A and B are shown apart, each in its own frame.
Chain A
């Protein structure tokens, strides 16, 4: 059992047929390995193949080619053992029985995971306490808020105390308060204190940057780069980013003529448009960029900053994390 905690993915392919001729290469030859106790992130836009990959690792899907071992167990030959050693948490709310209470849900999953009968009661009490759900223990899940449901989903994942966690977009659709709770819990409690090996997928750059020790950029089924967040950011040839925050409708195409920029990304957030230009000489292209932006939008602020993971992703793939 020395290998417990390892996830080793080698040459995995998953291709879905669409109609007679078309196909989608959801996972297109992926290799990586996760050390015991590591918090590893898969960062990529929607449709990059992250969820398909998680489904392959968790035995929900059979890959077309390649090999995966989880905790030393082969996903093809020892799928039950793989499932015994993992806990899978997905974003969204529907992974619990809404008509049952938290206790009833946890008791059901404890039986499915073969938690010894004697320890079920204590385990459930401990998990509800840990999640701050003790006072909601007998309230039907449908009456809980989205954040509480996600906390309960976390408790469900931990009911059999698995050494490996597959966490797929855990903060999807949560308000900032609960999203913060989930992030802190995953990092501090599950990874640092309990030493769980965690494979986390997300399309939130900040989430990956904050939580993960190593990150793999995934785009169109392939892994484009893999390293620690710091080294990924250091790998950018341009060490500065010119960021213009503005209001209006902007298209990336208007910057086609700008030669001095290594890459330009236009993204939208909270009704504002963010233009980020990777460059070594922000002062040289500043006036040119501002001129182009002013024709279409009202500038709110301009600043020079350092590259983020999003900039690295754009630089490597040409796609934005918000695409998809």
Chain B
């Protein structure tokens, strides 16, 4: 153990292994709370139905001529469902990743893991991997159940491109998640920031409505969010939603946003980590 940490490739391999160990550990801990684990698979349904029922109440059915004129899709259920299905990854960023270090603090293990020879963002990345797998599984079940129940027909030919858009969106959201994780070190009421951010993102992202209905300012804000392009893209590939911008533009902007968000996220995290070690606020809550 006395030799230096090895070359770049062995270091990368070490970090990847640590990220995976974090992921496995989270699964194991999660599975010890069985009722809660089952609940997590049911909850998205209970969460989603009010949006459908609200639409039914407004329309007296599931078809909206106005929505069709705006987006090319008339089926309110299909439109809303795809939006809410993929915005589920916002939970990964704002809650799972954000909560990761605080949770270790509550377990009392934060300082124990922080003396291990891996950078601290590795733990947040491990949580991101875990939550992505977890959320992905929930989404898959949700997708099968809802499309069957409401007889929604998806364009299967678009799945690969849809997943590419989702992947880019997800990487951008990781940037956001690591910002929140960093803030948890310094702010006692980090969850308010997380809640406010996720509320803002839910409002401006075209989940259940197109960007066209948003006021000008909110439309501009939406331009900087990975969720905007992710949801628009995925709905275009799976349901054929009309696009206001070209496909290459969507992928280009998604790529640009993910680079900016990830870099910004890492910067904030490293600054907050340093701040926490200077102030000694790591184990305080």
Please tell me whether chains A and B touch each other in their complex, using a CB distance cut-off of 8 A.
yes
In the assembled complex, B277 has its CB within 8 A of some CB on chain A = yes
Complex CA gap A93/B28 in Å reads 20
Chain B residues with CB under 8 A of A113: 116-117
Complex CA gap A76/B116 in Å reads 15
In the assembled complex, A162 has its CB within 8 A of some CB on chain B = yes
Is A95 a contact partner of B112 (Cβ separation < 8 A)?
A: yes
Chain A residues within 8 Å of chain B by Cβ, number:
44
Chain B residues with CB under 8 A of A112: 18, 21, 113, 116-118
Chain A nearest CB, measured from B271 CB (Å): 13
In the assembled complex, A268 has its CB within 8 A of some CB on chain B = no
In the assembled complex, B198 has its CB within 8 A of some CB on chain A = no
In residues 124-156 of chain A, which contact B (Cβ within 8 Å)?
140, 156
Q: Please judge, given known A-B contacts A59-B115, A95-B109, A114-B14, whether A108 and B278 are in contact too, CB under 8 Å.
A: no
Interface core residue of B2, B14, B118 (most chain A CB under 10 Å)? B2
Is A83 a contact partner of B117 (Cβ separation < 8 A)?
A: yes
Question: Which residue of A92, A95, A160 contacts B1 across the interface (Cβ within 8 Å)?
Answer: A160
Is A81 a contact partner of B274 (Cβ separation < 8 A)?
A: no
Chain A residues with CB under 8 A of B14: 114
Chain A residues with CB under 8 A of B107: 94, 97-98
Q: With CB as the reference atom, state the residue of chain B lying closest to A52.
A: B280
Q: With CB as the reference atom, state the residue of chain A lying closest to B106.
A: A94
Chain B nearest CB, measured from A152 CB (Å): 12
Complex CA gap A138/B115 in Å reads 25
Is A163 a contact partner of B1 (Cβ separation < 8 A)?
A: yes
Is A60 a contact partner of B277 (Cβ separation < 8 A)?
A: yes
- Give the interface SS of chain A, mostly helix, strand, loop or mixed: loop
Is B116 a contact partner of A83 (Cβ separation < 8 A)?
A: yes
Is B117 a contact partner of A81 (Cβ separation < 8 A)?
A: yes
Is B117 a contact partner of A80 (Cβ separation < 8 A)?
A: yes
Chain A residues with CB under 8 A of B61: none
Q: With CB as the reference atom, state the residue of chain A lying closest to B15.
A: A114
Is A88 a contact partner of B277 (Cβ separation < 8 A)?
A: no
Question: Which residue of A96, A100, A156 contacts B28 across the interface (Cβ within 8 Å)?
Answer: A100
In the assembled complex, A16 has its CB within 8 A of some CB on chain B = yes
Is A62 a contact partner of B117 (Cβ separation < 8 A)?
A: no
In the assembled complex, A178 has its CB within 8 A of some CB on chain B = no
Chain B residues with CB under 8 A of A162: 1
Complex CA gap A48/B33 in Å reads 41
Is A61 a contact partner of B280 (Cβ separation < 8 A)?
A: yes
Q: With CB as the reference atom, state the residue of chain B lying closest to A88.
A: B115
Is A114 a contact partner of B117 (Cβ separation < 8 A)?
A: yes
In the assembled complex, B4 has its CB within 8 A of some CB on chain A = yes
Question: Which residue of A14, A81, A156 contacts B5 across the interface (Cβ within 8 Å)?
Answer: A81
Chain B residues with CB under 8 A of A71: 2
Is B115 a contact partner of A58 (Cβ separation < 8 A)?
A: yes
Q: Please judge, given known A-B contacts A85-B1, A88-B112, A113-B117, whether A107 and B28 are in contact too, CB under 8 Å.
A: no
Complex CA gap A97/B26 in Å reads 10
Complex CA gap A293/B5 in Å reads 62
In the assembled complex, A227 has its CB within 8 A of some CB on chain B = no
Chain A residues with CB under 8 A of B279: 16
Interface core residue of A16, A98, A107, A114 (most chain B CB under 10 Å)? A114
Q: Please judge, given known A-B contacts A95-B112, A99-B28, A109-B116, whether A84 and B1 are in contact too, CB under 8 Å.
A: yes
In the assembled complex, A1 has its CB within 8 A of some CB on chain B = yes
Q: Measuring CB to CB, which residues of chain A are less than 8 angstroms from any residue of chain B? A: 1, 4, 14, 16, 52, 55, 58-62, 71, 80-81, 83-86, 88, 90, 92-100, 104, 107-109, 111-114, 117, 140, 156, 160-163
A-B pairs with lowest CB-CB distance, top 3: A94-B108, A111-B21, A84-B117
15 contacts between A and B (CB under 8 A): A1-B3, A52-B280, A83-B117, A84-B1, A84-B117, A86-B115, A88-B112, A90-B111, A97-B25, A97-B107, A114-B5, A114-B14, A114-B17, A114-B117, A162-B1
